């Protein structure tokens, strides 16, 4: 392979008269095209990298020490955020706000659990979120309590979100720094291009500014953006602001599409599935209203949560499609996936749209996806990180059949892999190894070959965002983005 400037100028078995000074000896290593991570969260990855990381801790004492050390670098109006708190690694007893109040009674401190569904707050953080000592539990969440009924600072689900959302949002400059940091980390892993799958979680226009500034300052990865539907359109499908359509057209980096959530997650029993959760913490009744409207799929029992009614989902997909965008839909449960396929089926060209996760699929759904031709992006690393919670919620049998790589691939569905970082570490090589050798408890007949898994993390990933001419295969003319990490 001959590289000239930024591009692959030639590839072939022999090259006439190479200048010896230009020859690079790989010393036996294999050179691979750089990875493409087409479903992740770039800004949140960077923001997490800026926070105190507690993954190392093996005792409460170590956490308290690390938080105390970090206090020095927090300015007066700031919050102290930590991530990867995990009490299950040393006995399972949570820290309480009393432990954190001893560090500061004025600076809000929030330790986010590694599972993303809980956190520990000190009293200042609870006060900042207007939560009283005897606050009743919010819908969809709960507060941990001392024996006398007062809050102990442990926050679950919606209670955790409530407090997290009260923390100050980062400035454009902080966001820019975070994106650059995420770009560094991902480039070190051999990734050259990544899609942010939910741009607009803080403030859409500020985030777009931050991505542009990061690019101008030499972000080490190329970024593609998928904007949250509700940040772009109003309920009636008109643009959120009069100049939105124009503003989005001249955005750099490129906007690749619109993101919609169709359901929740398996771990919290909120993915919309057929049948029941075995360890159900929510009942199937949440679905009854939507299920009545859902046409053919309603004879079966369903559980979990749809984010939108089927009619509303159809409408949202139609509007984003009509505005010219590729639509990427988060759908985990098999019931939800049927409704997403219904929505795609109504469009003139479903094949340009994306299904994200599709964790539970039966044969009929795989046939249907193949017929519609839409892209499917899966995250092999989930099988390793969340296997225990899948088994708890779905039982052994359904868990075995999660993420049917081989069946999806063989049906001719354009399958690509991605990480969904920061909820997992997100090294593509971990993803490839897992796709090739699914962990115990997952059907091994759904394994891919190494070549197929690399393809899903490179050229197939690039194709989804229309980048296959530039990235993913090191064909002549492509950008010379590659790595020599051992796979
Ligand atoms: Zn995601």
Per residue in 36-91, pLDDT (tens digit) is 999 999 999 999 999 999 989 999 999 999 999 999 988 877 899 999 998 888 88
Mean pLDDT rounded to a whole number for the chain: 92
* pLDDT reading at 281 higher than 60: no
Q: Check residue 286 and give its pLDDT.
A: 46
Residue 288 has pLDDT above 50, yes or no: no
The pLDDT assigned to 295 comes to 52
User: Residue 429 above 90 pLDDT?
Assistant: yes
CA of 62 to the centre of ligand 1 (A): 31
Distance 196 CA to ligand 1 centre (A): 8
Residue 40 CA to ligand 1 center (angstroms) comes to: 6
pLDDT at 31 over 50: yes
- pLDDT surpasses 50 at 323: yes
Residue 318 and residue 325: Cα distance in Å, rounded? 10
Residue 92 banded pLDDT, cuts 50, 70, 90: confident
Distance in Å, CA 261 to ligand 1 centroid: 9
Give dist(CA 323, CA 327) in Å, integer: 10
Specify the pLDDT at position 143: 95
Mean pLDDT of all residues in 428-436: 98
Residue 57 alpha carbon to ligand 1 centre in Å: 27
pLDDT reported for residue 127: 96
User: Is the per-residue pLDDT at 474 higher than 50?
Assistant: yes
Evaluate if residue 284 carries a pLDDT over 50. Answer: no
> Is the model more confident about 13 or about 37?
37
Q: What is d(CA 478, CA 469) in angstroms, rounded to the nearest whole number?
A: 6
For residues 235 and 213, give the distance between their C-alpha atoms in angstroms, rounded to a whole number. 30
How far is the centre of ligand 1, averaged over its atoms, from the C-alpha of 332 (Å)? 11
C-alpha of residue 290 to centroid of ligand 1, in Å: 24
Q: Are 95 and 87 a contacting pair, CB within 8 Å?
A: yes
* Rounded Cα distance, 342 and 308, in Å: 14
Q: Which residue has the higher pLDDT, 250 or 404?
A: 404
Lowest mean pLDDT among 61-70, 208-217, 233-242: 233-242
Distance CA 10, CA 41 (A): 34
Q: How far is the CA of 318 from the centre of ligand 1 (A)?
A: 22
Ligand 1 centre to CA of 76 (Å) is 33
Distance from residue 423's CA to the centre of ligand 1 (Å):
8
How far does the centroid of ligand 1 lie from the alpha carbon of residue 416, in Å? 14
Between the CA of 137 and the centroid of ligand 1 the distance, in Å, is 27
**417 Cα: distance to centroid of ligand 1 (angstroms):** 12
The secondary structure element, H or E, covering residue 42 is helix 42-50
Q: Using one digit for the tens of pLDDT, what is the confidence trace for 439-459?
A: 999 999 999 999 999 999 999
| pLDDT at residue 300 greater than cutoff 70 | yes
**What confidence category does residue 297 fall into, taking pLDDT thresholds of 50, 70 and 90?**
low
- How far is ligand 1, taken at its centre, from the CA of residue 420, in Å? 5
What's the pLDDT at 19?
A: 81
Instruction: Tell me, in angstroms, the distance from the centre of ligand 1 to residue 89's CA.
Output: 26
Going by C-alpha positions, the residue among 73, 160, 181 that lies closest to residue 114 is 160
In 3D space, the residue among 271, 278, 291 whose CA is nearest the CA of residue 359 turns out to be: 271
Looking at residue 244, its pLDDT comes to 80
pLDDT of 292 strictly over 80 = no
pTM: 0.90
Average pLDDT over residues 310-338: 96
- Residue 18: pLDDT band (50, 70, 90) is confident
| Ligand 1 center–CA 439 separation, angstroms | 22
Can you tell me the mean pLDDT for 347-363? 97
Distance between Cα 351 and ligand 1 center (Å): 21
* Residue 114 CA, ligand 1 centroid: distance in Å: 16
So what's the pLDDT on residue 30?
Answer: 94
Delineate the domains of the chain, giving CATH numbers in brackets.
78-164 (3.10.310.70), 172-483 (3.20.20.140)
Q: At what angle do helices 450-457 and 428-436 cross, to 10 degrees?
A: 140
- Statement: residue 248 has pLDDT above 90: no
Q: Which residues pair with 195 in a beta bridge?
A: 224
Q: Is the pLDDT of residue 245 over 80?
A: no
Residue percentage of the chain with pLDDT more than 90: 78
Q: Closest Cα to residue 474, out of 9, 27, 5? A: 9
**What is the whole-number distance in angstroms between the Cα of residue 424 and the centre of ligand 1?**
10
Q: From ligand 1's centre to the CA of 464, what distance in Å?
A: 16
pLDDT of 106 above 90: yes
Distance 320 CA to ligand 1 centre (A): 19
The stretch 298-322 carries a mean pLDDT of: 91
**133 alpha carbon – ligand 1 mean position (Å):** 34
**Residue appearing with tokens 């394994």:** 447
Instruction: State the distance from the centre of ligand 1 to the C-alpha of 466, rounded, in angstroms.
Output: 20
Residue 480 pLDDT greater than 60, yes or no: yes
Total Cβ atoms within 10 A of residue 23: 8
Q: How close is the Cα of 259 to the center of ligand 1, in Å?
A: 10
Q: What per-residue confidence (pLDDT) applies to 283?
A: 41
Rounded to the nearest whole angstrom, what is the distance from the C-alpha of residue 103 to the centroid of ligand 1? 34
Q: How far is the CA of 36 from the centre of ligand 1 (A)?
A: 15
Separation of CA 258 and ligand 1 centre (Å): 13
Q: What would the mean pLDDT of 186-193 be, rounded to a whole number?
A: 98
Which residues crowd ion ligand 1, with CB under 5 Å? 197, 420
In angstroms, the CA 367 to CA 375 distance is 13
Q: How far, in Å, is the centroid of ligand 1 from the Cα of 260?
A: 11
User: Is the CB of residue 155 less than 8 Å from the CB of residue 165?
Assistant: no
Per-residue confidence (pLDDT) for residue 285, from 0 to 100: 42
Q: Tell me the CA–centroid distance for residue 111 and ligand 1, in Å.
A: 21
What percent of the chain shows pLDDT beyond 70? Answer: 96
- CA of 39 from ligand 1 middle (Å) equals 6
For 203, which DSSP code? -
Distance 418 CA to ligand 1 centre (A): 9
């Amino acid at each position: 392979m001959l590289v000239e400037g930024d591009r692959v100028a030639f590839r072939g078995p022999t090259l006439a008269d190479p200048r010896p000074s230009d020859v690079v000896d790989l010393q036996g290593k294999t050179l691979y095209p750089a990875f493409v991570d087409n479903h992740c969260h770039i800004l949140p990855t960077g923001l997490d990298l800026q926070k105190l990381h507690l993954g190392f801790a093996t005792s409460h004492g170590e956490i308290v020490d690390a938080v105390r050390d970090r206090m020095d670098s927090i300015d007066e109006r700031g919050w102290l955020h930590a991530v990867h708190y995990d009490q299950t690694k040393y006995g399972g007893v949570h820290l309480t706000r009393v432990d954190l109040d001893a560090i500061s009674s004025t600076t809000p401190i929030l330790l986010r659990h590694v599972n993303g569904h809980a956190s520990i707050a000190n009293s200042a953080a609870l006060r900042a979120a207007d939560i009283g000592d005897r606050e009743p539990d919010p819908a969809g969440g709960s507060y941990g309590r001392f024996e006398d009924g007062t809050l102990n600072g442990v926050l679950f689900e919606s209670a955790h979100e409530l407090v997290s959302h009260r923390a100050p949002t980062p400035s454009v400059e902080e966001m820019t720094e975070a994106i650059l940091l995420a770009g560094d980390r991902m480039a070190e892993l051999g990734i050259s291009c990544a899609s942010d799958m939910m741009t607009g979680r803080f403030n859409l226009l500020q985030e777009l500014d931050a991505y542009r500034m990061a690019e101008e300052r030499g972000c080490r990865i190329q970024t593609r953006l998928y904007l949250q539907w509700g940040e772009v359109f109003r309920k009636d499908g008109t643009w959120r602001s009069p100049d939105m359509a124009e503003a989005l057209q001249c955005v750099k980096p490129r906007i690749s599409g619109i993101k919609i959530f169709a359901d929740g997650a398996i771990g919290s029993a909120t993915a919309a599935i057929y049948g029941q959760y075995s360890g159900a913490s929510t009942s199937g009744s949440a679905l009854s209203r939507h299920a009545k409207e859902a046409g053919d799929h309603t004879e079966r029992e369903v559980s979990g949560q749809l984010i939108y009614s089927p009619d509303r989902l159809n409408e949202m997909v139609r509007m984003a499609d009509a505005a010219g965008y590729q639509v990427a839909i988060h759908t985990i449960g098999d019931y939800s996936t049927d409704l997403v396929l219904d929505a795609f089926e109504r469009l003139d060209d479903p094949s340009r749209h994306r299904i994200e996760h599709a964790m539970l699929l039966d044969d009929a759904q795989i046939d249907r996806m193949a017929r519609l031709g839409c892209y499917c992006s899966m995250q092999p690393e989930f099988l390793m990180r969340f296997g225990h919670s899948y088994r708890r919620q779905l039982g052994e049998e359904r868990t075995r059949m999660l993420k049917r790589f081989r069946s999806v691939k063989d049906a001719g569905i354009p399958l690509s892999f991605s990480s969904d970082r920061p909820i997992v570490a997100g090294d593509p090589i971990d993803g490839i190894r897992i796709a090739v050798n699914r962990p115990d408890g997952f059907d091994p007949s759904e394994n891919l070959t190494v070549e197929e898994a690399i393809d899903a993390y490179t050229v197939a990933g690039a194709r989804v965002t229309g980048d296959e001419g530039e990235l993913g295969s090191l064909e002549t003319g492509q950008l010379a983005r590659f790595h020599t990490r051992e796979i």
